[in-house]
Amino acid sequence: MTKTAAIIGGGVIGGGWAARFLLMGWNVRVFDPDPEAERKIGEVLANARRSLPGLSDVSMPEEGALSFHDDLADTVQGAIWVQESVPERLELKQKVYGALMQAVGEDTIVGSSTSGFKPSELQEGLTRPGQVLVTHPFNPVYLLPVVEVVPTAANSAEIRSRASEILTEIGMKPVEIKKEIDAHVADRLLEAVWREALWLVSDGIATTEEIDDIMRFGFGLRWAQMGLFETYRVAGGEAGMKHFMAQFGPCLKWPWTKLMDVPEFTDELVDLIAGQSDAQSGHMTIRELERARDDNLVAMMRGLKARDWGAGALLNEQDKRLGQPEVDIAGPITTLATAIPVDWLDYNGHMTESRYLDAFARSTDRFMEIIGCDADYIATGGSYFTAETHIRHIDEAHLGQRIRVETQCLLGKGKKMHLFHSMYEGERLLATGEHILLHVSLETRRPSPPAEKIELRLVEIAEAHAKQPQPEGVGRAIKVS
């Protein structure tokens, strides 16, 4: 049964939440009195559709249904999760929660996207305060996985646990904050850097572009994959964190920063920063900047995914939760179902040649798992090596398109395995890959018979697939007409 989430407030953050839930297979109901809400969320969703699926190497759920509603009580009907993302005015948020308590079920979780207010302030005066807690994300919500979960004593262990389970289910990384505090944790860290940056611009020491360059070409890259403390642990060398603290701790007493003070927000300072920002990136629209941001995030996170590190390890766990398609050997087996990410594109804007081979190699790996030639078997000293490959490029594949590969086993006997992969977008054939593989002893690096259980499974599939028509193009060689 499809689950339902309700989004109260459809701005940048609310739209990001809507996209995250929708693309993870939830139905989403939106309440926002802004007459432009449907257009704005539609644009956020368009960006999410082209980027979020690129983080997954398995088939994502079918997209849920999106609907817009004029009545708050109607919006939350059937919702097991309500996400409030209205403007940061405490009286407005408290008014919304008062109305929600009259409309939501007693087991519905109500999360707030607030970046500053404490959950106790949001819960004040509510009939069922235990249903409300802070779930503060980061923009874009549909790509960045971290979410600060801030409860109070009014929130039961069951509510906190269920909130984390739901957030994990939609691919996020919930971090429960032990004590409530104004602005939580992440925004306090960001505000410290922001405050210092304002002084650096105000004092004429650096421009907005120079500060951004220092971050994006320097410590920002380190923070993206290790964070703050682990980065400094490495900086301490073999002696570790204690050595780093002893070496650099005293500098905290030096008058380097102005973190306890802030420059006056005069019109001149605002104009200075706005002007520098316009010169830095005013040649691009906000939507162009968003797409560049999304493409860069996907590329970085996929790089971490290949290393099974940080946010990449989280994505690998999400792929495991999403799972592989069911195996039916009566016909060609779906061995790959994914979306084309940005790092699969070439200068012509379509999927580059090497990625076709990559996709077919993944399909071969999946087929090997299906016949039992998995990591455990390979660890015993046997595997399959590819001896020959022929790929036909039939039609173009573009960013965000959902593709699948269907694999037919044409021969599976003794040391030989003959596979034919067909790549589709819907019913449109994009490419085929034909491969001859040999079972090899990893000790001698020479062809060898597979284990009996492997051969029996391979023969079973080959015999089932022999009843299917032979794919067009089998045995095709390159010819010039």
Cβ contacts of residue 44 below 8 Å, gap of 6+? 12, 15, 16, 18, 19, 140, 142
Q: Are 425 and 397 in contact (CB under 8 A)?
A: yes
Q: Which of 219, 158, 234, 161 is nearest to 189 (CA)?
A: 219
Q: Which of 320, 315, 318 is nearest to 304 (CA)?
A: 315
Q: Are 332 and 406 in contact (CB under 8 A)?
A: yes
User: Which residues are known binding-site members for NAD(+)?
Assistant: 9-14
Q: Which of 407, 404, 405, 409 is nearest to 467 (CA)?
A: 409
Q: Are 2 and 68 in contact (CB under 8 A)?
A: no
Beta strand pairing call for 333-339 and 132-136: unpaired
Packing angle between helix 267-281 and helix 186-202, nearest 10 degrees? 100
For the residues of 130-171, what is the DSSP string, one character each? GGEEEEE--SSTTT--EEEEE--TTS-HHHHHHHHHHHHHTT
User: Which residues are known binding-site members?
Assistant: 9-14
DSSP 8: E
Q: Are 68 and 30 in contact (CB under 8 A)?
A: yes
Q: Are 416 and 438 in contact (CB under 8 A)?
A: yes
Residue 90 has φ and ψ, to the nearest 5°, of: -60, -45
